[in-house]
């Protein structure tokens, strides 16, 4: 029975699309890692709680099949801020997040230098 569960999870992982804009941070990658961890021994892995395993699979399958998206359709494709889905994708992309981190580091460095009581040369000597 474990072999059947393992194959079902593998099939679900194969079908779940990887979002290339979120390299290493998307749900598909996370699921693949968790399945690999849960089924370390492949088909011969012993499941301690088969009911819970089946529930997890069914929940993930419903999310993948967009059951809730169809059951509870959205009136608009924007959030309460008015940001569209595409704008959210751009902001959450790994490249955009990296650019924001670089900007934060630059600003932090400027503030640190501005409010430092020591001259930059003195701070480097310590």
Same domain, 60 and 100: no
Q: How big is the chain, counted in residues? A: 126
pTM of this prediction exceeds 0.85: no
Q: What's the pLDDT at 68?
A: 93
Integer Cα distance of 45 and 108 in angstroms? 49
Same domain, 7 and 63: yes
Model pLDDT for residues 44-99, shown as the tens digit of each residue: 888 888 899 999 999 999 999 999 999 998 887 777 778 887 887 777 777 777 77
Same domain, 41 and 83: no
Burial 20-43 (b: 16+ CB within 10 A, else e): eebeeebebbebbeebeeebeeee
Integer Cα distance of 36 and 31 in angstroms? 8
Same domain, 52 and 6: yes
Same domain, 88 and 50: no
Q: What's the pLDDT at 78?
A: 74
Same domain, 66 and 115: no
Number of domains observed in the structure of the chain: 2
Same domain, 57 and 92: no
Task: Indicate the SS3 state at residue 93.
Answer: coil
Same domain, 68 and 6: yes
Q: Find the range with the poorest average confidence among 15-24, 74-83, 88-97, 104-113.
A: 104-113
Q: What range defines the domain where residue 17 resides?
A: 1-73
Integer Cα distance of 28 and 19 in angstroms? 8
Domain boundary among 58, 73, 88: 73
């Amino acid at each position: 029975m474990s072999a059947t569960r393992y194959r079902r999870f593998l099939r679900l992982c194969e079908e779940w699309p990887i979002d290339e804009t979120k390299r290493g941070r998307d749900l598909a990658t996370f699921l693949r890692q968790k399945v690999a961890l849960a089924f370390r021994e492949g088909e011969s892995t012993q499941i301690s709680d088969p009911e819970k395993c089946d529930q997890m699979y069914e929940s993930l399958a419903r999310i993948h099949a967009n059951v809730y998206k169809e059951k509870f359709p959205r009136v608009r494709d924007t959030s309460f801020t008015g940001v569209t889905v595409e704008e959210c994708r751009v902001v959450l992309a790994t490249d955009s997040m990296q650019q924001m981190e670089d900007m934060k580091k630059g600003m932090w460095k400027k503030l640190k230098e501005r409010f430092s009581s020591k001259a930059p040369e003195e701070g480097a000597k310590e």
